[in-house]
Structure 1
Amino acid sequence: MTIDKIIIFSDMDGTFLDHSTYSYSKAMPAIRKIVKNKIPFVFCSSRVSHEMDIYYKKIKIRHPFISENGAAIFIPKGYFKFNFKHDYIKKGNKIIQFGTKYEKLRKVLVKIRKETGYNMKGFGDLTLKELSENAGISLKKARLAKKREFTEPFIILDGDINKIKKLIKKHGLNYTKGGRYHYIMGKNDKGKAVNTLKKLFKKEFGKITTIGLGDGQNDLPMLKNVDYGYQVKTYKGEYSYRNKAVIRINKIGPKGFNEAVLRHL
Structure 2
Amino acid sequence: MNYDRIKKNETESKGEFMIAVFTDLDGTLLDNKTYSFDKAKTSIELLKSKNVSLIVVTTKTADEIEDFKRQEIGEFFIVETGCEIIAPDECFKLGKGYRHAREVLIKIKEKFPVKGFGDMSEKEISEITGLSLENSKKAKKRKYTEPFIPLGEFDLQEAEQIAERYGYRIYRGGRFYHIVDKECDKGKAVKFLIDKLKRKYGSILTIGLGDSKVDEPFLKIMDIPVLIPKKIGIYEKLDVENVRLSPYPAPLGWDYSIKEILNELEAGSS
Q: Give yes or no for TM over 0.5.
A: yes
Q: Secondary structure at the match of 1:50?
A: coil
Equivalent residues of 1:14, 1:235 under 8 A apart = no
Question: Against the structure 1 CA distance between its residues 236 and 169, is the aligned structure 2 distance closer, same or farther, given a 3 Å change threshold?
Answer: farther
Which structure 2 residues correspond to residues 71-86 of structure 1 after superposition, within 5 A? 71-77=83-89
Q: Does 1:160 align with 2:155?
A: yes
Give the Å deviation of 1:8: 0.6
Equivalent residue for 1:19, pick from 17, 32, 52: 32
Q: Counting strand residues as a fraction of each chain, which structure ranks higher?
A: 1
Give the Å deviation of 1:244: 4.4
| Structure 1 counterpart of 2:145, one-letter code | T
Equivalent residue for 2:145, pick from 145, 151, 162: 151
Give the Å deviation of 1:263: 2.2
Q: Say what the alpha-carbon RMSD is for the aligned residues.
A: 1.5
Equivalent residues of 1:16, 1:254 under 8 A apart = yes
Which structure 2 residues correspond to residues 124-203 of structure 1 after superposition, within 5 A? 124-158=118-152, 159-187=154-182, 188-203=184-199
What TM-score comes out, normalization by structure 1 length? 0.88
Q: Secondary structure at the match of 2:134?
A: helix
Q: Secondary structure at the match of 1:183?
A: strand
Question: Against the structure 1 CA distance between its residues 53 and 237, is the aligned structure 2 distance closer, same or farther, given a 3 Å change threshold?
Answer: farther
Give me the whole-angstrom Cα distance separating, in 1, the residues matched to 2:99 and 2:200: 36
Give the Å deviation of 1:264: 3.0
Equivalent residue for 2:92, pick from 88, 93, 96: 96
| Structure 2 counterpart of 1:165, one-letter code | E
Q: Does 1:221 align with 2:221?
A: no
Equivalent residues of 1:237, 1:252 under 8 A apart = no
Equivalent residues of 2:56, 2:74 under 8 A apart = no
**Equivalent position of 1:264 in the other structure:** 261
Give the Å deviation of 1:56: 2.6
Task: Note the residue ranges of structure 2 that are not aligned, 5 or more in a row.
Answer: 1-6, 263-270
Give me the whole-angstrom Cα distance separating, in 2, the residues matched to 1:120 and 1:235: 27
| Structure 2 counterpart of 1:146, one-letter code | K
Q: Secondary structure at the match of 1:253?
A: coil
Give me the whole-angstrom Cα distance separating, in 1, the residues matched to 2:37 and 2:226: 17
Q: Does 1:64 align with 2:60?
A: no
Count, aligned residues: 246
Q: Secondary structure at the match of 1:238?
A: coil
| Structure 2 counterpart of 1:257, one-letter code | W
What TM-score comes out, normalization by structure 2 length? 0.87
Give the Å deviation of 1:242: 3.6
Moved over 2 A (4+): 1-4
Equivalent residues of 1:73, 1:96 under 8 A apart = yes
Equivalent residue for 2:249, pick from 246, 249, 252: 252
Give me the whole-angstrom Cα distance separating, in 1, the residues matched to 2:24 and 2:213: 11
Give the Å deviation of 1:140: 0.4
Higher mean alpha-carbon deviation, 203-212 vs 10-19, is at 203-212
| Structure 2 counterpart of 1:256, one-letter code | G
Give me the whole-angstrom Cα distance separating, in 2, the residues matched to 1:222 and 1:263: 21
**Equivalent position of 2:117 in the other structure:** 123
Equivalent residues of 1:64, 1:76 under 8 A apart = yes
